[in-house]
Amino acid sequence: MGSATSSMAAKFAFFPPNPPTYKVVSDESTGKMRLSDAPQRENVDVLKLCTKKGNEIVAVYVKNPSASLTVLYSHGNAADLGQMFNIFAELSLRLGVNLMGYDYSGYGQSSGKPSEQDTYADIEAAYSCLEDTYGVKEEDIILYGQSVGSGPTLELATCFPRLRAVILHSPILSGLRVMYPVKRTFWFDIYKNIDKIPLVNCPVLVIHGTDDEIVDWSHGKQLWELCKEKYEPLWLKGGNHCNLELYPEYLRHLKKFISAIEKLPCAQYISGQSTDQSERSVNSTDHRDRSRTSTDHREKSRLSNGQREKSRPSTDSREKSRVSTDRREKSRRSYDRSGKARNSIDQSERARNSFDRLGDMVRSVGLCNVDCFKQTATEV
């Protein structure tokens, strides 16, 4: 049963570039590893990590000195680190984050053969490296899964409830659902994201193109609807499976999301449901207040007029606290509006230059095998 599932996973999901687009070389003077054909950068570490399945995978860690958050990026099905390296470096710079990317087993210079279970072991090894080698805390990690990478991303997200956030880029509901519109999950299906997404506790951003010919837009929409903590999704009109990075809205929305997550305490999240949750919290407080009021009524006969007078300032204090909270909320909304107003023409021009540079990188490499899923559908 397990071998059948792995076999289907391999047919469906994995098309590593052949030959790999890079080699791992060591600097003769320092012994530091780097990717061939990639410029030597002081802020980039190239690593070899051992997985619990016995494979050795290659990872890159891009450091940003001003970063407080770290992105763990799981790439798509037909790319390797040689193709993703410059994009990782650009995202780290533009988003103000540290970023770790890794190659799945059997990809690039990683040993072994790709399988669903191996990708789970691969992302676990990368996550452990962030904690053990770089001292990154769980609550400072954002998981980013692109296409097939949404599988290991959501598998890991269900295991760590205090993650800061999850980003799903052209995600899949499950492997079988990409090929056939099935209504239930079968035992032989792979990457059962549809069953895992409700178990994720942190905020989730979903990005999907409306004209995705490989993974239908409905996958992203349904995953977003099943999220506990929804953040405003990004549906890119006309976007397909492999070109979302070319849209200016892509980087702009990512920046907005990272900024929102970064400003909030780890225990609080911003989402489409945050207002409702706040209301529920206020209602809960009101219920407790009514309970206390009921108790106070029973005690009224024992209270003197002076004691009742003392209780009024306390009530006024609570009322002032609520007014203060309302003012802070109005101030925050005002700040958000003023922030939007500050998007001047010059800032837009600088942003366009950034998008153009990222777009050039995306155009220069093939980040997915456009025909892979269609081919698989005919083979199965």
Q: Which residues are catalytic?
A: 147, 212, 241
230 by DSSP, 3-state: which? strand
CA distance 215 to 148: 10
CB 166 within 8 A of CB 174: no
CB 45 within 8 A of CB 60: yes
For the chain, 380 residues long, give each residue's pLDDT as a single digit of tens. 445 554 654 566 689 999 999 999 998 888 899 999 888 899 999 999 999 999 999 999 999 999 999 999 999 999 999 999 999 999 999 999 999 999 999 999 999 999 999 999 999 999 999 999 999 999 999 999 999 999 999 999 999 999 999 999 999 999 889 888 888 888 889 999 999 999 999 999 999 999 999 999 999 999 999 999 999 999 999 999 999 999 999 999 999 999 999 987 765 554 444 434 433 433 444 444 444 444 444 444 444 444 444 444 444 444 444 544 454 454 444 444 444 444 443 444 444 454 455 555 555 444 444 344 333 333 33
CA distance 35 to 40: 8
The C-alpha torsion from 100 through 104 and 110 to 115, rounded to 10°, is: 160
Average pLDDT, the chain: 79
Q: What's CA 292's distance to the chain center, in Å? A: 42
CB 131 within 8 A of CB 100: no
pTM value surpassing 0.85: no
The first and second tokens of residue 205, run together, are 């951003």
Neighbours of 30 (CB within 10 A): 9
